[in-house]
């Protein structure tokens, strides 16, 4: 498979360090810009903490009354695990210094694809469970953003395949086009899901189950998580777009 993904991270410098006592030669990897790497690694750590809190609290909210689960708890569990856990992690796999940074680009793309497919299916099923449970649909901002997230997720899932096989499909669709639209649709889907979640957290049931202050903090955490997660796709989009314009 052709290497059709731009890795924005600078190449590593490998220094050979002589061990004086036993004459064994070891290799030490010295990053070329330690500061940027430290900031990126810290952002990755912060992201995982935020994902843990947001998903954990949503699971607590959904499971607090025990089983059997009604339509709303099922809906919340599937949507939050789909969007804020699996889809966020899927986007992060392609960022430098992510949790799969030690894998090759080809394998990171497979991890990304797998997480995106599972996350999208869970999120779409979770959304449809609640749509089917309602008599009047899309009459709230929460529902409207949820619908937008479902639409963009579905499109992103389809053209993600085109992006994965961009080289093979280059005669039907220019590779750069499938990649740019995939980044665009995927990022919009994730942002729509986050806005939708904020309106979900803002609902009376959620605020009553936790506290108003904690719900507000969770909304701020969702905004912070979303911002960190979309930084790399936006940078990649900029690099690819400006490259396409120059060529």
Binding site for ligand HEM (CB under 6 A): 58, 72, 75-76, 79-80, 83, 127, 130-131, 134, 137-140, 142-143, 146-147, 149, 193, 196-197, 200-201, 203, 205-206
Maximum alpha-carbon separation in the chain: 77
Place of tokens 């991270």: 9
Nearer to ligand HEM by Cβ, of 127 and 159: the residue is 127
Nearer to ligand HEM by Cβ, of 125 and 244: the residue is 125
Nearer to ligand HEM by Cβ, of 205 and 212: the residue is 205
Q: Minimum distance between the CB of residue 111 and ligand HEM, rounded to whole angstroms?
A: 22
Q: Minimum distance between the CB of residue 241 and ligand HEM, rounded to whole angstroms?
A: 28
Per the CB < 8 A criterion, the answer to whether 78 and 124 are in contact is no
Q: Minimum distance between the CB of residue 21 and ligand HEM, rounded to whole angstroms?
A: 57
Nearer to ligand HEM by Cβ, of 164 and 218: the residue is 218
Q: Minimum distance between the CB of residue 36 and ligand HEM, rounded to whole angstroms?
A: 31
Q: Minimum distance between the CB of residue 102 and ligand HEM, rounded to whole angstroms?
A: 30
Task: Name the token pair of 107.
Answer: 């394998």
Tally: H helices and E strands in the chain:
8, 2
Q: How far is CA 174 from the centre of its chain?
A: 25
Torsion 225-233-160-182 (CA) sign: positive
124: CB partners within 8 A, 6+ apart: 82, 150, 153, 154
Nearer to ligand HEM by Cβ, of 94 and 210: the residue is 210
What one-character DSSP code corresponds to residue 170? T
């Amino acid at each position: 498979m052709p290497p059709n993904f731009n890795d924005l991270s600078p190449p590593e410098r490998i220094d050979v360090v002589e061990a004086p006592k036993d004459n064994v030669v070891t290799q030490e990897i010295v990053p070329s810009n330690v500061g940027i790497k430290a900031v990126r690694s810290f952002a990755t750590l912060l992201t995982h903490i935020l994902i843990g809190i947001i998903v954990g609290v949503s699971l607590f909210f959904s499971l607090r009354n025990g089983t059997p689960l009604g339509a709303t708890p099922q809906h919340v569990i599937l949507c939050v695990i789909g969007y804020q856990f699996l889809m966020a992690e899927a986007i992060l796999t392609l960022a430098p210094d992510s949790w799969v940074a030690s894998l090759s680009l080809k394998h990171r793309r497979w991890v990304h694809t797998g997480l995106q497919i599972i996350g999208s299916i869970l999120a779409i099923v979770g959304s449809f469970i609640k749509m089917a449970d309602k008599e009047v649909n899309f009459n709230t901002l929460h529902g409207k953003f949820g619908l937008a997230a479902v639409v963009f997720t579905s499109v992103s899932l389809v053209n993600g395949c085109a992006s994965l096989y961009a080289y093979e499909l280059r005669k039907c669709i220019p590779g750069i086009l499938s990649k740019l639209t995939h980044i665009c649709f995927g990022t919009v889907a994730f942002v729509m899901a986050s806005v939708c979640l904020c309106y979900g957290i803002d609902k009376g049931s959620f605020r009553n189950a936790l506290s108003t202050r904690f719900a507000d903090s969770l909304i701020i955490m969702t905004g912070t998580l979303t911002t960190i997660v979309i930084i790399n796709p936006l940078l990649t989009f900029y690099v690819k777009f400006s490259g396409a314009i120059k060529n």
